[in-house]
Structure 1
Amino acid sequence: MTEESVVVLTSITTDELNVTHHENLVADPRMGAVVSFGGVVRNHDSRAGVTRLEYEGHPQAAKTLTEIADDLALQFPGVRIAVSHRVGALEVGHIALAAAVASAHRAEAFGCCAQLVEEIKTRLPIWKNQFFDDGTQEWVGSL
């Protein structure tokens, strides 16, 4: 019997994110695999050093994130999903995206988590403004 998928958490927040918290949310004795992802603000981009980022979300971002997680839950039966995206000002080293997926088996957990991150990158209406060490800045698409 295949378990039903559960979306445990979807969140757009200004609060600091913790990947371990997301892993704990999806943990379950029936799950043999927990795969997580932390999208961390790095100190460089292809053109220059990055000093900080500012993320801005569309008013529908929370709804879209829930839709993305729900879509993946349908595609990967039996998974548990927790995902959050941070908005506002972030410093180098801060987590912008925290995601965790649990499944009975590793293939589904890896596949779902990877696809979750890709869907967020393409569908979530959140934009980032990168601030460079040369004093310039640049708006780019989501994550």
Structure 2
Amino acid sequence: MHRLREETVTAVRLVDIRDTPLSLDEVYAAVSDPAAGGICVFVGTVRDHDGGQAVSALGYSSHPTAVDRLREVAERIAGECDVVALAGVHRVGDLDIGDLAVVVGASAAHRADAFEACRRLIDELKTDVPVWKHQTFASGDAEWVHPH
């Protein structure tokens, strides 16, 4: 079994899947550090349309392994990127238009590294973490989507 470097584990400061509202302040605080010259935060929100259709309701569900998968993604990125800290939280349950669905953050000594790690964290979260979106359209049609 391969062991993660201690810096990799300590760089991952917050990972969670929650059914309560998300906080930008919490993610920002998690990645803030005196060694960080750049902090990048991405916020995904629930929009009122998808594919040209008006969305009337939206909910997210996750597999029981989702938090573990999110941690694995964050640890992999921490090991591959020059970061000080990473954080990521995704919301599940019924959300309203405008609600925060996902917040990720990365800090690094330099802005380019913070941007790269933040982009990788949201992109890999969306492809590798088992979270699904159920959206209902104004027409009454509904669909399940792996939102990533």
TM-score, length basis structure 2: 0.90
CA distance in 2, matches of 1:84, 1:106: 22
Give the share of equivalent positions with the same residue, in percent: 39
Q: Which residue of 2 aligns with 1:95?
A: 100
- Deviation >4 Å, runs of 4+: none
User: Are the aligned partners of 1:19 and 1:100 in contact in 2 as well (CA < 8 Å)?
Assistant: no
Paired amino acid for 2:99: H
Paired amino acid for 2:44: G
- Count of residues paired in the alignment: 141
Q: Which runs of 5+ in 2 are unaligned?
A: 1-6
Deviates more, 1:131-140 or 1:36-45: 131-140
Determine which of 11, 17, 21 is the counterpart of 2:16: 11
Q: Which residue of 2 aligns with 1:39?
A: 44
CA distance in 2, matches of 1:42, 1:64: 26
Q: Which residue of 2 aligns with 1:70?
A: 75
Q: Does residue 134 of structure 1 match 2:139?
A: yes
Q: Which digits, 9 at most, give the CA deviation of each residue in 1:118-140, with x for residues without a partner?
A: 10111111100011111111111
CA distance in 1, matches of 2:24, 2:140: 31
Q: Which runs of 5+ in 1 are unaligned?
A: none
Q: Does residue 122 of structure 1 match 2:89?
A: no
Root-mean-square deviation (CA, aligned residues, Å) is 1.4
Paired amino acid for 1:11: D
